[in-house]
Structure 1
Amino acid sequence: MTPLDRSALKVDYFLLSVDEPCCGGCIQANPLSCIEVFATQPFTVTGDMLRLRGRLQPLFEDPAGWIYRLVDAFDLHPASSPSHQSIGRRAFLASSAALGLAACVPGRFAGYRDDASDAPQWQPSTTSPTIDMHSHAGRVIVSRDPLVGANRPFVPLSAPMRAGAMNVICLAIVTDTTVTHVSSDRKRFEAWRTPQPGELYALGKTEFARAHALVAREKMRVVTTAASLQAQAFSGPCAIIAAEGGDFLEGNIDALDEAFTQHQLRHLQLTHYRVNELGDIQTEPPVHGGLTDFGADVIRRCNRLGIVVDVAHGTYALVKRAASTSTKPLVLSHTALSTHPGARSRLISPDHARAIADTGGVIGVWPSSGTFSDIHAMAEGVKRMADVVGVEHVGLGSDMLGFISPPVFRSYEQLPSLASALLSAGFTQNDVTQILGANYLRVFTESVG
């Protein structure tokens, strides 16, 4: 059992292996012996045997070359069981099948480093909270599997937030899940059918209910104003209710008022993985020429109600019209910089980034393993973004539990490691405070009040 954060006492994500990595830059070389585990509950890190049961998933074209992943895993024989025998970290059983494991090579799992003690140490601010601009943590999203749907079990959220000193997350529902699926090349999601009238509106109500149920289960707080955020952020983990895609509106702007009042929506991303009534998306050919008139009306209504406007996934044309429409700063919650983004890429150009910064807004850098090899490479990506738009316009958008392939920042327990990597990349402690929350707080304050 090899945790990503080797200092953690409890983990819900780890690598199963016979031999511990010889150093922080090693994982098992044989892909047949590399199994990632996503557990239903945190495991205590011990030297005992683990006998796990879960759903074994094959991986296709995985960046690290791995072949298997065990999800929804749980211990068949917890420590209290008489059959739980200690045989060390050198063996495991998954779904009752024993696997033999081999040597080490550098890879994606090496997000941790053994030289952490030599790295600059982050000092979390006592006055400015840490904020993730985009997260699906806790498994808030309804499953795409119709047999699971809204019955998808939650996973721990509050504990890793506390462990990593993450104060606030923008907890994003998604309302196109029933009409999108993974593309054949497994690199993105795409729409595969047209929704029925009322379908996505109903899905939105279900997703908002799940978000609030997750918050209640985790004993978190929903913050709806800048004052409540500042007052409660240091008392325990908090959530800003967000929506990734205005698909649940179904072209009805009054549904936005309803979401604001009844569901406490305070952060709206206009588009996601289907070209909807609000505008075009980066990953599909343009249909509307950017932002639609309805999309512009939604932005104006958000400005009036007090909802942050997020243009992630939107085309550059959409962003330019959104910038000229909004009277408040925009955010682009999760992406990374590319000098020349490819066709249908989720990355953005320097001009695209500047269009956000020129509104006074913030761009969240994401931890995609397709973009960054490890957490230090991600920190360098943050630096490149800051070099283009200024540090005051950069934030963190983890897209937690939103990736097809596991990202380089996959648990809030890693936040100190990310902060340390940012310091190593040349940022000051004050810069890191801005990036990890203060910049988004500024936009939230201006937009929501």
Structure 2
Amino acid sequence: MTPLDRSALKVDYFLLSVDEPCCGGCLQANPLSCIEVFATQPFTVTGDMLRLRGRLQPLFEDPAGWIYRLVDAFDLRPASPPSHQSIGRRAFLASSAALGLAACVPGRFAGYRDDASEAPQWQPSTTSPTIDMHSHAGRVIVSRDPLVGANRPFVPLSEPMRAGGMNVICLAIVTDTTVTHVSSDRKRFEAWRTPQPGELYALGKTEFARAHALVAREKMRVVTTAASLQAQAFSGPCAIIAAEGGDFLEGNINALDEAFTQHQLRHLQLTHYRVNELGDIQTEPPVHGGLTDFGADVIRRCNRLGIVVDVAHGTYALVKRAASTSTKPLVLSHTALSTHPGARSRLISPDHARAIADTGGVIGVWPSSGTFSDIHAMAEGVKRMADVVGVEHVGLGSDMLGFISPPVFRSYEQLPSLASALLSAGFTQNDVTQILGANYLRVFTESVG
């Protein structure tokens, strides 16, 4: 048992490894020697041998390199004094074999699904493309490490899209990376310094250039109108250029016109992880009381130019004023529903969701492992959102490669599995077509033309 936080006394997330490393910097290099574990209850950190039961999942393009995850894990050991026997290589391999056998035998443990034989089969639409409303796939974002920056290597994008049947992604740059970092509790990003004048505008130009370089490298197409999207979506992977946060504007609305004409921006999320000139964010105390006057001007300019307005990360107060300002449907690209979200939660309440739906807009459900235990739980989360706002107002916002912790949907190769999980949750084939693209296409058409 290898906790990632070596000082923790109890953990519900850890690695099951062949041999205990001497420190956090000496984790097993071979991914076959480690299983990532998400437990149902915290485990006391000891050197004892573990006997676990859960659901074994293969991982795809995991940022940390692991290829197996055990979810909903719980302790099978009897409630007796521990033996204090350290787990060795032979014991680990024996336990790994048992886990693999359990994962291959139908009905072996609670919650097991024989997906290959039981899951409904998705029938992709031949007329309505699949669209991810929010993605950083391909590793499009400039690194927060100043020694790497824009030299961060890309990872494959078009091939996973083809393999899973994802036609179009909203490829989102981020323009606050140089002034934000991971919080001390490693649960979110936060601003840690004030940017220099011109810094985030320059970062925006770098990020837009990087997005176009990724698209060219992957032999994808940038779509800028509804007509070009419909015409090209089925002939190969496509991208809609998006920006997560209007920080690059630095309060200058003319920079929005420049992004539209020079960088082909067609989807703008107003805020991200710093309280900027456009409004307040969910994860920090309010400063402006919601959307600012400049933020309202930006929305009106987006409506005129033909840019989708995305209010993800914005407070409920921001969303309400945005809804009264915009003449086009709003998007909230990546979140999930909660009856009572916490004070700084990225989740949204039913009223928050309805404010988007009332504009004719779409809410993207994300695959956060902090919200959902697996892809089936995510599908149920989509169902809960649809029950509140209607299926015509729900979409997919994967936030691909944008999470601190690995999500439950981490590669476009998993799209058929997600679609099948949605069918298992009670959606029809037509519902799934709407959720996986048609709903966003409607908003894109109304907003961009």
- In 2 relative to 1, CA 399–297 (structure 1 residues): closer, same or farther, beyond 3 Å? same
Give 1:241's aligned residue.
Answer: 241
Once the 2 structures are TM-superposed, how far is the Cα of residue 115 of structure 1 from its aligned partner?
A: 2.9
Residue by residue over 1:368-402, the C-alpha shift from the partner in whole angstroms, topping out at 9 and shown as x without a partner, is: 00000000000000000000000000000000000
* Deviation sequence 1:269-293 (CA, Å, 0-9, x none): 0000000000000000000000000
Q: Please report how far the alpha carbon of residue 250 of structure 1 lies from its aligned counterpart in structure 2 after TM superposition.
A: 0.2
Q: Which residue of 2 aligns with 1:257?
A: 257
Kindly tell me the number of residue pairs found equivalent between the two proteins: 449
**Greater helix share, 1 or 2?**
2
1:298 maps to which residue? Answer: 298
Instruction: Give me the whole-angstrom Cα distance separating, in 2, the residues matched to 1:23 and 1:79.
Output: 29
CA shift in 2, pair 1:110/1:11, >3 Å: farther
Give the Å deviation of 1:106: 14
Deviations 1:338-392 (A, max 9, x none): 0000110000000000000000000000000000000000000000000000000
1:215 aligns to what?
Answer: 215
Task: Report the CA distance between 1:6 and its aligned residue.
Answer: 32
Residue 113 of structure 1 and its aligned partner are, at CA, apart by 5.3
Q: Is the 8 A contact 1:62 1:405 kept in 2?
A: no
Instruction: Compute the displacement of 1:117 (Å).
Output: 2.4
Structure 1 counterpart SS, 2:353: helix
Does the CA contact (< 8 Å) of 1:328 and 1:359 recur in 2?
A: yes
TM-score between both structures, scaled by the size of structure 1: 0.79
**Unmatched 5+ residue regions in structure 2?**
none
Judge conservation of contact 1:29–1:102 (CA < 8 Å) in 2: no
Do the aligned residues in 2 keep the contact of 1:57 with 1:69 (CA within 8 Å)? yes
- Compared CA separation, residues 90 and 13, structure 1 to 2 (3 A): farther
Bigger drift between 40-49 and 191-200 goes to 40-49
Q: C-alpha displacement at 1:82, in angstroms?
A: 46
Mean Cα displacement is larger for which, 30-39 or 266-275?
A: 30-39
Task: Find the aligned partners of 2:76 and 2:335 in 1 and give their Cα distance.
Answer: 39
Alignment RMSD, CA only?
11.2
User: Residues 72 and 373 of structure 2 are in contact (CA less than 8 Å); yes or no, is this contact kept in structure 1?
Assistant: no
**More moved, 237-246 vs 2-11:** 2-11
Q: CA deviation at 1:91?
A: 14
Preserved CA contact (<8 Å) 1:20 1:89 = no
CA distance in structure 2 between the aligned counterparts of 1:372 and 1:410, rounded to whole angstroms: 13
Distance 2:312 2:291 in 1: 13
Worse overlay, 28-37 or 236-245: 28-37
User: Partners of 1:128 and 1:287 in 2: how far apart?
Assistant: 41
Deviation at 1:19, TM superposition (A): 14
TM-score with structure 2 setting the length: 0.79
Deviation at residue 419 of structure 1 after TM alignment: 0.2
- 1:13-63 deviations in Å (ceiling 9; x for gaps): 999988999999999999995267999999999999999999999999999
Give the deviation of 1:116 after TM superposition.
2.4
**Identical-residue share of aligned pairs (%):** 98
Go from structure 1 to structure 2 and tell me whether the alpha carbon gap of 1:336 and 1:105 turns closer, same or farther (over 3 Å shift): farther
Q: 1:343 to 1:51 in 2, by over 3 A?
A: closer
Runs of 4+ in structure 1 deviating by more than 3 angstroms, as ranges, are 1-33, 35-114
Distance 1:385 1:38, change over 3 A: closer
Shift of 1:118: 1.5
* C-alpha distance 66-208 of structure 1, shift in aligned 2 (>3 A): closer
**Offset of residue 114 of structure 1:** 3.9
What is the distance in 2 between the residues matched to 1:153 and 1:42? Answer: 36
In structure 1, distance between residues paired with 2:51 and 2:157: 24
Asked if structure 2 preserves the Cα contact closer than 8 Å seen for 1:395 and 1:437, the reply is yes
Deviates more, 1:147-156 or 1:103-112: 103-112
CA contact (8 A) 1:26 1:110 kept: no
Report the equivalent of 2:19.
Answer: 19
8 Å CA contact retained: 2:267, 2:309:
yes
Report the 3-state secondary structure (helix = DSSP H, G, I; strand = E; otherwise coil) of the residue aligned with 2:11: strand
- Cα distance change, pair 99–109 in 1 and its aligned pair in 2 (3 A): closer
Q: Specify the alignment match of 1:420 in structure 2.
A: 420
Distance in 1 of aligned mates of 2:269 and 2:324: 17
In 2 relative to 1, CA 391–6 (structure 1 residues): closer, same or farther, beyond 3 Å?
A: farther
